[in-house]
Amino acid sequence: MKIVILDAFTANPGDLSWDGLKKLGELTVFDRTKPEELLERANGAEVLLTNKVIIDAKTMATLPQLRYIGVLATGYNVVDIEEAHKRGIAVTNIPAYSTMSVAQMVMAHLLNITNQVALHADAVRNGEWQQSPDFSFTKSPLIELDGLTFGIVGVGNIGKQVARMAQSMGMKVIAVSSKSAEMLREMGIEKASSYEQLFSEADVVSLHCPLTDETRHLVNSERLALMKPSAILINTGRGPLLDEQAVADALSAGKLYAVGVDVLEEEPPREGSPLISAPRCFITPHIAWASEAARRRLIDIATQNVAAFMQGKSLNRI
């Protein structure tokens, strides 16, 4: 069976192995694939693995041998699922592989904003503490999290872990979620009656919902106006959940204390983003998912998905 990985580099830049897939068939690995390279590289493949390379109806029509598309991620919007089903092409994804890593990044952004460890460490390295007249030297406010309210939008696998971590630091957790109030209560979470309640009450808002027509620009000027000027906004979900200009304007006007994001509307931001130059905005380059442990799980699950397909079984089938 011919297996082709179209964009392998982000999942495995060389520190891990594709040996499990090599045992399942004739494996060809490409670090990156441009749109104009897709058809030539995918030609003759029965199994295609993709992360960001788009497999649309036109592509499928030109690949008669294609039987399986494996998405090397949880989200699968890069594949025309309806067309795949029409053609009898199996499609799988990798659920829940990065839960702990993404939750950890949420806390990393939160603690960076509240404690400014890097800022103060750099100040010490630059000799500023040596010149201070006092034994304790601070360059920014330090914020204690105990007793604050942490608001979560979306209580899936990641949202649940983030809630657990926030609770461990003494924070009250409220959430907008499709889960019932009783289910949330069992996790120690209070169900918010609306987005408006959550945005107005929370000291920290963290986004963990899928990107849909309803949630695109979920954080807009109207909802930002509800937030406390001392509030912190964190987005490790999908870039378009934020109206980036509205968020940048709120930061510049002092209507929002700080923002931590791991995702932007355009990635990489070749045309720029208003958030890049916004004050008190901390951006990481879509790396929350990319710990070695998470990437190893991704490769292991991808291999299990293909093996199950070859055995006529359904595993993580969309």
Which residues are marked as active site? 238, 267, 286
The residue with tokens 């594709």 is 18
Strands (E), the chain: 2-5, 26-29, 47-50, 68-71, 90-92, 149-153, 172-176, 189-191, 204-207, 232-235, 258-261, 281-283
What is the token pair recorded at 97?
């592989």
CA distance 20 to 97: 17
Distance of CA 193 to the CA centre of its chain: 25
What is the token pair recorded at 247?
């968020």
Pairing of strands 204-207, 189-191: unpaired
CA distance 157 to 100: 9
Q: In sequence order, which residues have a C-beta less than 8 Å from that of residue 131 and are 6 or more positions away?
A: none
Exposed/middle/buried for 154, CB within 10 Å: 0-12, 13-18, 19+? buried
Largest CA distance in the chain: 75
What is the token pair recorded at 237?
């979900």
Do residues 273 and 244 touch, judged by C-beta distance below 8 A?
A: yes
Do residues 112 and 131 touch, judged by C-beta distance below 8 A?
A: no
End-to-end CA distance of the chain: give it in Å, rounded.
22
